[in-house]
Structure 1
Amino acid sequence: MIKNFIYQNPTKLIFGKDQIKRLSKEVQNFGEKVLLVYGGGSIKKNGLYEQIKNELKDFQIFELGGVEPNPRVSTARKAIEIIKENNIDFILAVGGGSTIDCTKLISAGVFYEGDAWDIVIGKYSPKKALPFGVILTLAATGSEMNSGSVITNLDTGEKLGWGSPLVYPKFSILDPVYTFTVPRNQTVNGIVDMMSHLLEQYFNKEHNPLLDTFIEGAMKTIMKYAPLALENPNDYEARSVLMLSATIALNHSLDLGVIGDWGTHRIEHAVSAVYDIPHGEGLAIIMPNWINFVISKDTDRVKEFAVNIMGMDTQNKNDIDIAKEGALKLQEFWKNIGSPVKLSEVNIEEKTLGQIADLAAKQVVGNAYSLTRDEIYQILKMAY
């Protein structure tokens, strides 16, 4: 049964070619001093950096580059100090989900006198946040239109998710052209990420039939356009479909009245906390094995996934076989577009699987299908 819910998303989505021309108009609502936050520097190679500086020529710009693929609390701390020292009014996050996630913690941490990690672990609940906007360069996480964030702490060996209604972006500019130069492996990781977000919401106990249809359609659309974008990185239509799909996949319009499982994400966070591998790679490895494992917990739902999304034939087959074939076909799809599908492929040592299971089990793993520490370990063994 669909649960009661309230839905509100305050982020203004600005989609399409040359929408960066709106940047100055959007930023001027928040002040004159802007902190530009970005990742490894690709925006300087593709010309976006210069475009931003030109559009914001009437503003005072400060910078923090080098946000990691698994963003670290230490980086957020540096940015918070820059903002406090210079009385900055607004943050502009330019990049993918990692940059945006880090910016969300920066935004909330500015008005807290303690350590930013306290916000991530729930020790402190933000009461105020510095406004920020986004220019998206990678179709993947959906962080550009939600209030969630995932942060890594190297000192504690943890990678944890957190969120606050205060850290929705004020606006997000999505120009598919900015994804043309994204390396193939990052494009693949983004495809896996957006598909995983859809599936995490599809596997639930409430089964909103309307949203089931939306998710099934979105999954099939992504699987149609993903190979086109990989074959021709400058295919505007394919890049547009992927970019919008990633945003919709996690702006919470597809989990109305349901509670997604998110078990795969909890396990993957533990994997990448220990090994610092790309999030998309970890999801591609864990999720098909997780689906296989939960067949015994909910055969009917996995069969629906196999038939309605993966297009499995049901003729002369029992439900369990159909479900298993669906999980295998998903794994094959990700493998065919270039993702690793085994932990051994990304140099993870089998002897550390117990450590990873212990770390994952510190949180609740699985909202729809709760997993014990031993069950997590079994899934990791299946994925090795």
Structure 2
Amino acid sequence: MQFTYANPTQILFGQGQIAGITDAIAQDQKVLVIYGGGSIKKNGVYDQTAAALANHTWVEFAGVEPNPTKETLDKAVAIVKEQAIDFILAVGGGSVIDGAKYVAAAGKYDGDGWDLLIGKHQAKVATPMGAILTLPATGSESNSGAVITKAENQDKLPFFSPAVQPVFAVMDPDVMKTLPERQLVNGIVDAWVHTCEQYITLPTDAMVQEGYAETLLRTLLTLGENFNNRDSDSWRGNLMWSANQALNGLIGTGVPQDWATHMIGHELTALWGVDHARSLAIVQPSLLRNQIETKRAKLEQMGRNVFDLPASGDLAEKTIDAIEAFYNNLDVATKLTEHGDDKPTAIDTIIGQLKQHGMVALGERQAITPDVAREILEQAVA
């Protein structure tokens, strides 16, 4: 319980809030609107954004892919530099917002933007940015982190800087109405694992953080169990807010954090294109079973307070089974199949990538070495 916490992102939550960017961005600022594959032109978000920016000078950059790549984003960096962009507006999900953070930081740097990801450059300044969230999952709209892929050599790495914290985030649950079921499921799973990474660690006395994490997990569990009711304002609003709160920094303040599931999962995405959330569901159950003794107390706490399981000698084991059943009930796989038929080579490749990226002491105890990661992958790879 020793921490400094601030979250300066202004949240504009609710129906019709996209119009609020008219006043959130000064009219004398030249705006770069960054978005993805064009779905915002089909669901009305683009038109609402254009209307809100009617009195602003703005240009656009489209084509940011899921798991945004340096190669694509560097084209937007060039626009920021060449056209003297004053403000960046990300319109999309976590990938677009993460990509915009890279553009915001790299646009103020004379070197190669990848230096941000390998720790060669720390972003002290960045172009101010805001976000219009269209896909709830990552919480990127109100935190200071981003994950970027370098397609050239299949590297997927994170960077963090207060300079890229969005100034504001528009969160209108109505934009979720046209999302495919797969993306809604991914949002539930992503927010769930984000919460778990900050909760299933060591026992703490942080009653607020632990209690809030459990509230988020129970909410996400309920949303998953009531997935058939997803076409309602209540369901959409609760998922959007839960995903935000899972990774806005609050529940992780002053407590141990894990993130090993994410670091291993990133390699599955980089190598085989596995959806980010689904890579987490593949890794997490096997990782928890591997680390069950050091995590037993928190797993038992989760079993009692999230799943309402009765006391038993194998409560931790039953909690992991309940987590896996939660994924399976959402039709989310917990074994990697995208690697093909050669399991040993696939595992060797993942371990090689983890070593290359310095991911050799993962988890809240730094106990997940490459050898331990191999044990986890033996169980997680089909």
Equivalent position of 1:226 in the other structure: 224
How has the CA–CA distance of structure 1 residues 306 and 92 changed in structure 2, closer, same or farther, with 3 Å as cutoff? same
Verify: 1:330 aligned to 2:316, yes or no: no
* Equivalent residue pairs, number: 376
Equivalent position of 1:357 in the other structure: 351
Q: CA deviation at 1:300?
A: 1.9
Q: CA deviation at 1:305?
A: 2.1
Q: CA deviation at 1:32?
A: 3.4
Separation of aligned partners in 1, 2:127 and 2:235? 34
Verify: 1:373 aligned to 2:373, yes or no: no
Equivalent position of 2:16 in the other structure: 18
Q: How does 1:133-172 map to 2 (within 5 A)?
A: 133-172=130-169
Amino acid aligned to 1:355: T
Q: CA deviation at 1:233?
A: 3.6
Separation of aligned partners in 2, 1:233 and 1:295? 34
Verify: 1:340 aligned to 2:333, yes or no: yes
Q: How does 1:260-275 map to 2 (within 5 A)?
A: 260-275=257-272
Q: CA deviation at 1:240?
A: 0.5
SS, match of residue 193 in structure 1: helix
Verify: 1:235 aligned to 2:220, yes or no: no
SS, match of residue 12 in structure 2: strand
How has the CA–CA distance of structure 1 residues 158 and 13 changed in structure 2, closer, same or farther, with 3 Å as cutoff? same
Separation of aligned partners in 2, 1:9 and 1:349? 45
Amino acid aligned to 1:128: V
Q: CA deviation at 1:211?
A: 1.3
Equivalent position of 2:51 in the other structure: 54
Separation of aligned partners in 2, 1:305 and 1:291? 13
Separation of aligned partners in 1, 2:77 and 2:218? 41
Q: CA deviation at 1:329?
A: 1.1
**In the alignment, is the contact (CA less than 8 A) between 2:202 and 2:295 conserved in 1?**
no
Q: CA deviation at 1:209?
A: 2.6
SS, match of residue 202 in structure 1: coil
Question: Structure 2 unaligned runs (5+)?
Answer: none
SS, match of residue 152 in structure 2: coil
Separation of aligned partners in 2, 1:348 and 1:287? 22
**In the alignment, is the contact (CA less than 8 A) between 2:116 and 2:123 conserved in 1?**
yes
SS, match of residue 158 in structure 2: strand
Separation of aligned partners in 2, 1:195 and 1:346? 25
The worse-fitting range, judged by mean Cα deviation, of 89-98 and 219-228 is 219-228
Q: How does 1:75-114 map to 2 (within 5 A)?
A: 75-114=72-111
Cα shift readout 1:326-355 (whole Å, capped 9, x = no counterpart): 111111111111212210267585121121
Equivalent position of 2:31 in the other structure: 34
Separation of aligned partners in 2, 1:292 and 1:266? 17
4+ residue segments displaced more than 6 Å: none
How has the CA–CA distance of structure 1 residues 349 and 304 changed in structure 2, closer, same or farther, with 3 Å as cutoff? farther
**In the alignment, is the contact (CA less than 8 A) between 1:203 and 1:368 conserved in 2?**
no
Separation of aligned partners in 2, 1:349 and 1:281? 20
Q: CA deviation at 1:156?
A: 2.7
Q: CA deviation at 1:270?
A: 1.5
The worse-fitting range, judged by mean Cα deviation, of 333-342 and 9-18 is 333-342
**In the alignment, is the contact (CA less than 8 A) between 2:198 and 2:252 conserved in 1?**
yes
How has the CA–CA distance of structure 1 residues 348 and 300 changed in structure 2, closer, same or farther, with 3 Å as cutoff? farther
**In the alignment, is the contact (CA less than 8 A) between 1:340 and 1:346 conserved in 2?**
no
Amino acid aligned to 1:343: L
Amino acid aligned to 1:210: V
Q: What's the C-alpha RMSD, in Å, of the aligned pairs?
A: 1.6
Amino acid aligned to 1:195: W
Cα shift readout 1:130-154 (whole Å, capped 9, x = no counterpart): 0111000111000011000001111
**In the alignment, is the contact (CA less than 8 A) between 2:32 and 2:89 conserved in 1?**
yes
Q: CA deviation at 1:219?
A: 0.4
Equivalent position of 1:284 in the other structure: 281
SS, match of residue 156 in structure 2: strand
Separation of aligned partners in 1, 2:340 and 2:134? 28
